[in-house]
Structure 1
Amino acid sequence: MRGKRSALLAGVAAAALALAVEPVAAQSTTANLINELNAKLLYVAIPITLVTEVVLFYTVYKYRKSDAPKPTKENRRLEITWTVATAIILLFVGVASYGVLADPAVTYTPDMGDPMDDEDAVVVDVEAYQWGWTFGYPQAEGNVTTSTEIAVPKDRVVYFRITSSDVLHAFAVPELGLKQDAIPGQTNTIRTTPLENGQYQGYCTEYCGVAHSQMYFNVTVMDQGDYETWLQEQQSSGSSGGNQSSGNASAGNASAGNASAGNASALLAAQSA
């Protein structure tokens, strides 16, 4: 009886503690969905963990001096109870997870339509290469491309169309809840809506060679007016040779990457010799 009371009190305390924790404000719809799912699973996992541990410690303590343990007796009511409880928990986890994974803000599939058909959305083309990025804005007038920064407006749907020009890479912005593989010859699309202004760091999360750790970039979320001003500035710099400079910078990064690869090859050859 005392053990049951302790388990009940532990479960109630865990539930109260979980409800008392204020959720962190999400920076995007994608991050919001993922955080909500994690919170739901946490509310279920904490009471189960505490009850299990309380029962375990109680059993160990009560029978710690038992020199002649008796076999466990069959208890069908108890077995049916925990089987049904487990089934309910697994059903809850499955339904909650499917509701998030099926949302376009988490999993976007080609049958959901062409992002370019969504006139109210922003489309960003992402191309990864060893060892850098090229970000393009196909909806903008002129050739707007960048290599280290993505600018997107707050409270508007944004699509990232991601591919690779050489080997396998991965586009990731953890604070926005974004992660997608960049595969040569294939375009993967992810969708989100930024909710908070700010600058968020992104990087490659798939090891792709000696300069993999240099593949950083920033995603800047800004108001619509500031975003339009940023696009105009990029278009102006492009018409005056800014794109050429960007291209030279990209070529310089590629050359630096090739030099790093050459140094690595030379080192391996020296070690083999």
Structure 2
Amino acid sequence: MKRTRWLVRLGALALVASLFATPAAAQSVNRAAIDELNTQLLYVALPLALFVEVTLVYAIYRFRNNDDPSPTVDDPALEITWTAATAVILVFVGVSAYFTMANPYLTPATMDDGSASAAAADAPTDDVVIEIEAYQWGWAVHYPDADVTVRDRIVIPVDRDVRFVLTSRDVIHSIYVPSLGIKQDIIPGTEGVARTRATETGEYRLYCAELCGDGHARMDGQVAVLNGSAYGAWVEEQAEG
């Protein structure tokens, strides 16, 4: 009994702590949309988890010495209510996820005409277009406006829309920047598009999230988010070099 009480107390403390915990500020509009969805689902999942755990503990305590259990009595009203409540929860989760995935920064096709090959030409004039070629095992990052190519490092300006035109030289890769909420598979023979708008300057890790060979573990890099003047100076320096 003491052990059960301690488990209940620890569970209650974990739930309370999660409710009052302040998450770190999102570093991009992509990550902000994902964090908002997670928060919505958390407020649904926490009460359900608490209800299930309380019911479980009550059943264990209430029927712990029941040597002559009897069959459960049918309760159609309870079954209908429980089924309807589950349906409402699933609809809420589905609608929330749908509107999040419809965000053009998470699903660029919702903004484009579906043709990734025309992404650079169709991009608004204020967008920064960066071409990224994935290969075993690295990243070739090309800036078409300045005719600059760098390796394993993506530099973007803060508070500006950025489009990545993605291609693969050999096998399937996947660009993944957790802090910026960017993740997009890159299929050989096709062009993909990823979009973001970073809201915080800083250095972020870049990974390949698709097993692409024995060098997959070392296929990483850096994403640097600079302010406008620093970004312009960096592009000019690379062009001159």
TM exceeds 0.5?
yes
Q: CA RMSD in A?
A: 2.0
Corresponding position of 2:29: 29
- 1:179-225 deviations in Å (ceiling 9; x for gaps): 11121111110111101000001021212222222212111001111
Distance 1:180 1:168 in 2: 11
Paired position in structure 2 for 1:119:
125
Instruction: Give yes or no for contact 1:169–1:182 (8 Å, CA) kept in 2.
Output: yes
**Which residue type is aligned with residue 126 of structure 1?**
I
* Distance of aligned partners of 1:77 and 1:13 in 2 relative to their CA distance in 1, 3 Å threshold: farther
Q: 1:136 aligns with which of 110, 129, 142?
A: 142
Structure 1 runs (4+) deviating above 3 angstroms are 12-19, 112-115
TM-score with structure 1 length normalisation? 0.77
Deviates further, 144-153 or 78-87? 78-87
Name the aligned partner's letter for residue 128 of structure 1.
A
Residue identity opposite 2:75 in structure 1: N
Contact 1:169 1:205 in 2 (8 A): yes
Say if 2:154 is the partner of 1:146: no
The alpha-carbon deviation at position 16 of structure 1 amounts to 6.2
Rate the CA distance shift 1:57–1:19 in 2: closer, same or farther, 3 A. closer
Q: Which runs of 5+ in 1 are unaligned?
A: 1-11, 238-273
| Secondary structure at 1:99 match in 2 | helix
Secondary structure of the residue aligned to 2:71 is coil
Maintained 8 Å contact 1:130/1:211: yes
- Pairs aligned (count): 225
How high is the TM-score relative to the length of structure 2?
Answer: 0.87
- Aligned pairs (5 A) from 1:43-58: 43-58=43-58
Shift of the 112–24 alpha-carbon distance from structure 1 to 2, 3 Å rule, reads farther
Which has more radius of gyration? 1
Q: What's 1:242 paired with?
A: none
What is the distance in 2 between the residues matched to 1:168 and 1:91? Answer: 34
Q: Provide the rounded CA distance (Å) in 2 between the counterparts of 1:218 and 1:165.
A: 20
Alpha-carbon distance in 2 for matches of 1:132, 1:16: 43
Q: Quote the offset at 1:14 in angstroms.
A: 8.3
Q: Does the CA-based 8 Å contact 1:15-1:43 persist in structure 2?
A: no
Q: Which runs of 5+ in 2 are unaligned?
A: 1-11
Please tell me the residue identity of whatever aligns with 2:224: T
Note the 1:215-254 alignment, pairs <5 A. 215-237=219-241
Deviations 1:125-157 (A, max 9, x none): 11011121110112x23x211102111000001
Q: Is the 8 A contact 1:14 1:50 kept in 2?
A: no
Partner of 2:85: helix, strand, or coil? helix
Structure 2 counterpart SS, 1:70: coil
